[in-house]
Amino acid sequence: MCSSWLVVAFCCLGQLYADQRLKPQIAAPQLATNNPTLTTVALEKPFCMFDSSLHPNKSYTIYLYAMKESVSAMTSLVTDTSNKPLNSTFQQTSGGQLGPYKAAWFHVPSCASPPRLVDAGDVSKVSEVLKQYLFRVGDDGTCLYDPNFLDVCNPPLAPDTTYRFKYVLIDSTEGIVKDQTLWSDPIKTRRVKLALQIDTWPGRRSGGMIVITSVLSVLMFLLLASFLASVSSAVMRSESPSAESRGTPRTTEGDPRPQLGSE
């Protein structure tokens, strides 16, 4: 009897461990070549992650939360004491510095009919396929400054900053959390390259050399422009009427020429 209970317990623990291993994943390089960017991270949507928690005749929604890795475990919860999802915003959490913020919501992706990745090879279908399969965090550059924006704001992420992400399944009828993933592995946005770190192939000149070359080019242009202006001014002065009058000998009409006498 005891052994049977142990088997059941281990099976339950094994199932719980398998479920807890589910977490948001960064998009495959084949689907998002420049990922992460300075201000965005493309994630795979949670296909088939919440199938065991879905029930017929109920409506569900996925919330995506984001936070900076520096947030402590105590403040990384996305539910309140009544198991309702937090509606904390980007502004309220200082961009994820103080805790998780809701970055997006969307319908539960269909596990039965996921997008056909083979269609991504079709130029006319690639945008729609990627939109169904991926979600880009930090993709809205205007929502913070639009007073009429009422949806969930998904503003740009900070460069050179590490974030974690979490998918949460919401029972839309009851307004409570039904399931959630673990926080993702740390994902760091790209760092802004300094001028001294710019790779200027061919030749691989440093950023300082690029700046010096640019300044010298501008100075050379100004020097050449000044020289051409001086030459042009000198030519115009030489062709003016006063110059002609100064350069032409004056003659007097009727001025008799001296005659040599025969005496």
pLDDT for 10-35, tens place per residue?
344 334 334 445 899 999 888 888 99
Q: For 91-119, what is the mean pLDDT?
A: 87
CB atoms within 10 A of CB 147: 5
Query: 6 in a domain, yes or no?
Result: no
More confident residue, 239 or 99: 99
Range of the domain at 67: 40-186
Q: For 159-183, what is the mean pLDDT?
A: 95
More confident residue, 253 or 43: 43
Most confident among 2-6, 178-182, 197-201, 212-216 (mean pLDDT): 178-182
Q: For 85-92, what is the mean pLDDT?
A: 94
Query: 57 in a domain, yes or no?
Result: yes
Summary mean pLDDT of the chain: 78
pLDDT at position 248 over 70? no
Banded model confidence at residue 4, pLDDT cuts 50, 70, 90: very low
Percent of the chain with pLDDT over 90: 43
Query: 135 in a domain, yes or no?
Result: yes
Q: What is the pLDDT of residue 5?
A: 34
- Structure confidence by residue, pLDDT tens digits, 217-238: 777 777 777 777 777 777 677 7
Q: What is the pLDDT of residue 14?
A: 39
- Specify whether the CB–CB gap between 105 and 61 falls below 8 A: yes
Query: 245 in a domain, yes or no?
Result: no
Residue that is written with structure tokens 């948001």 in the block: 24
Q: For 104-114, what is the mean pLDDT?
A: 87
Query: 244 in a domain, yes or no?
Result: no
Q: How far is CA 38 from the centre of its chain?
A: 5
Q: What is the pLDDT of residue 22?
A: 86
Minimum mean pLDDT range among 61-65, 72-76, 81-85? 72-76
Query: 143 in a domain, yes or no?
Result: yes
**CA 133 to CA 32: how far, in whole Å?**
11
Query: 255 in a domain, yes or no?
Result: no
**CA 3 to CA 168: how far, in whole Å?**
36
**CA 191 to CA 172: how far, in whole Å?**
39
Looking at the 3D structure of the chain, how many domains does it have?
A: 1
Minimum mean pLDDT range among 100-104, 108-112, 184-188, 189-193? 108-112
**CA 118 to CA 18: how far, in whole Å?**
29
Banded model confidence at residue 197, pLDDT cuts 50, 70, 90: low
Q: What is the pLDDT of residue 245?
A: 53
Query: 223 in a domain, yes or no?
Result: no
- Specify whether the CB–CB gap between 86 and 102 falls below 8 A: yes
Measuring CA to CA, which residue among 186, 191, 141 is closest to residue 165? 186
pTM above 0.75, yes or no: no
